[in-house]
Amino acid sequence: MEHLWSPWRMSYIQNTTKPEGCIFCVEPSRQDGPENLVVYRGQWVYAILNRYPYTSGHLMVAPYEHQASLEALEATTRAEILEVATQAIAALQAEYKPQGYNLGINIGEMAGAGVANHIHLHIVPRWGGDTNFMSTVGSTRVLPEALEVTYWRIHKAWKR
């Protein structure tokens, strides 16, 4: 089986897609840390913190491959999205103990996808009253924790 981070795979991604400006292509090509916010790499998909989180711990699972739809992905990639989402929830549960989660994929701009041409699954931890401490003014939200702190907490909690 092909290893994901082989040079072949990287050049495949760079040559056949349009990663310029696509954060889901650009960020995993950088070194992992609080700068690119990639907390976990699987074989076909990875998990990345949302830079503009709805709540603390809001992350996304995306394929390395630049594809706009679920049906364009291999079945193994689709399966791994849910597998990595399950691991993400386990890590969030261990570290943040939220009271619930919203999982969702916005397909197409009309459905609210911020980056519509690279599919990604949102995982949003929820707490009772969590909308109360966030003031939503345009795209600005007030969060109780710095992204870098969240990054290391989830990175450490993730079972590898």
147 is a contact residue toward Zn ion (CB under 5 A):
no
| Residues in the chain, total | 160
66 is a contact residue toward Zn ion (CB under 5 A):
yes
The Cα 47–Cα 129 span in angstroms is: 26
Nearer of residues 49 and 92 to Zn ion, judged by Cβ:
49
* Candidate segments 27-35, 66-74, 87-95, 147-155, binder of Zn ion by CB under 5 A: 66-74
User: Which residue numbers are catalytic?
Assistant: 120
What are the φ/ψ torsions at residue 102 (nearest 5 degrees)?
-110, 130
- Please choose, from the candidates 46, 83, 80, 86, the residue with its C-alpha nearest in 3D space to the C-alpha of residue 62: 46
CB of 91 to Zn ion, least distance (A): 24
* Candidate segments 16-24, 41-49, 68-76, 150-158, binder of Zn ion by CB under 5 A: 16-24
CB of 41 to Zn ion, least distance (A): 16
CB of 113 to Zn ion, least distance (A): 12
Per-residue DSSP letter, 31: P
Per CB under 5 A, contacts with Zn ion among 86-145 are 118
Per CB under 5 A, contacts with Zn ion among 18-57 are 22, 24-25
Those residues with Cβ within 8 angstroms of residue 101's Cβ, 6 or more apart along the chain or in another chain: 89, 92, 123, 124, 125, 126
The Cα 121–Cα 58 span in angstroms is: 11
